[in-house]
Amino acid sequence: MTLKIVFMGTPDFSVPVLAEILGQGHEVVAVYARAPKPAGRGMALRPTPVHALAERFSIPVFTPKTLRTPEAAATFHGHGADVAVVVAYGLILPKEILDAPAQGCLNLHASLLPRWRGAAPIQRAVMAGDAETGVMVMQMEEGLDTGPIGMAERVDIWPDMTAGDLHDRLSRIGADLMARALAALSRGSLTFTPQSEEGVVYAHKIDKAEARIDWSRPAREVHDHIRGLSPFPGAWFEADFGHGPERVKAVRSRVAEGAGAPGALIDDQLTVACGAGAVRIVELQRAGKAAMRAADFLRGSKPATTLFA
């Protein structure tokens, strides 16, 4: 049985889910996404990734600034959807919207709830050094990621995996998980289990002030910080490459052997001493430049002996 679906999503993470739903033959009657933003040299309005995919399939796209108006609720009701699928949409859904589809709203959330409720579950899981995470299909309610769980898939977080790596893997796994959940829903066999009231942790939005690397922390924490903020917004430090201090992003790293004063380079391979242990920078990005391997960078630059935290 095919379902009439309203899809609500915005970034790259949501695209595989929408593509999988379309591939399964469901009828996507409308797509909701955040509004296009100016981008590029000409600052022309650029549609979000989900918006662009929907247009390729000639699906009507709606980009309201808010869903908390009678007009927005009336429009949403008018779609006559069986279910809404929400994946990193970016707007809060009020009760009038949550109750509109016949079978409610399903959210794909990138964590093992109730751990990492909120805006940045992938980055926070990596930054915390978690060994595993996952994706869950949740029945949405008015609380922040508090709804009961219909399906889940666990995923290991490898020691050197970045948030970007994990994002891509969870997006693919999540697309399959949501497709299976919708198939079960169409058969009337999707059941939900309330979340545990223990182990609740919130994944607050990443603040730019968090991005600066603190070399006084233990090496494992520094490494987790770097990979948790890669590729965006990017953990950064200041270094002198012969032309005065400049801001540099650490894109990839690994825990290394060695010791020294926090922030000091301890070899010629960009190994930096931390509060305990050391971290080797494997890939980095200077301002206005593309990311590059540390080995390639070192062929043309000789950094000073200290990185300024």
| Predicted confidence (pLDDT) per residue in 104-159, tens digit | 999 999 999 999 999 999 999 999 999 999 999 999 999 999 999 999 999 999 99
If asked whether residues 110 and 238 sit together in one domain, one would say: no
If asked whether residues 275 and 258 sit together in one domain, one would say: yes
Alpha helices in 141-199 (DSSP H): 163-187
Q: Mean pLDDT lowest for which of 179-193, 206-220, 287-301?
A: 287-301
pLDDT value of residue 299? 82
If asked whether residues 59 and 88 sit together in one domain, one would say: yes
If asked whether residues 184 and 274 sit together in one domain, one would say: no
Q: Mean pLDDT lowest for which of 39-48, 203-212, 290-299?
A: 39-48
Question: Helix crossing, 163-187 with 15-23: angle to 10°?
Answer: 30
pLDDT tens-place string over residues 246-285: 899 999 999 999 999 999 999 988 999 999 999 999 999 9
> Per-residue confidence at 308, pLDDT binned at 50, 70, 90?
low
Domain boundary residue among 202, 229, 256? 202
Show the domain range for 250.
208-308
If asked whether residues 242 and 150 sit together in one domain, one would say: no
If asked whether residues 96 and 16 sit together in one domain, one would say: yes
If asked whether residues 112 and 238 sit together in one domain, one would say: no
pLDDT-above-70 percentage for the chain: 97
If asked whether residues 146 and 53 sit together in one domain, one would say: yes
Is 245 a residue whose pLDDT tops 90?
Answer: no
Q: Which CATH number covers residue 274?
A: 3.10.25.10
If asked whether residues 164 and 264 sit together in one domain, one would say: no
Domain boundary residue among 202, 235, 263? 202
Domain boundary residue among 172, 202, 232? 202
If asked whether residues 163 and 185 sit together in one domain, one would say: yes
pTM equals: 0.94
Quick one: CA torsion of 40, 43, 49, 50, rounded to 10 degrees?
180
Angle (nearest 5°) at CA 135 between 130 and 137: 145
The structure tokens listed for 77 are 């009701």
Q: Which CATH number covers residue 15?
A: 3.40.50.170
H or E element in which residue 219 lies? helix 219-228
If asked whether residues 102 and 167 sit together in one domain, one would say: yes
Q: Count structural domains, the chain.
A: 2
* Residue 264: C-alpha distances to residues 43, 227, 275, 284, 297 (Å): 41, 20, 11, 17, 18
If asked whether residues 125 and 97 sit together in one domain, one would say: yes
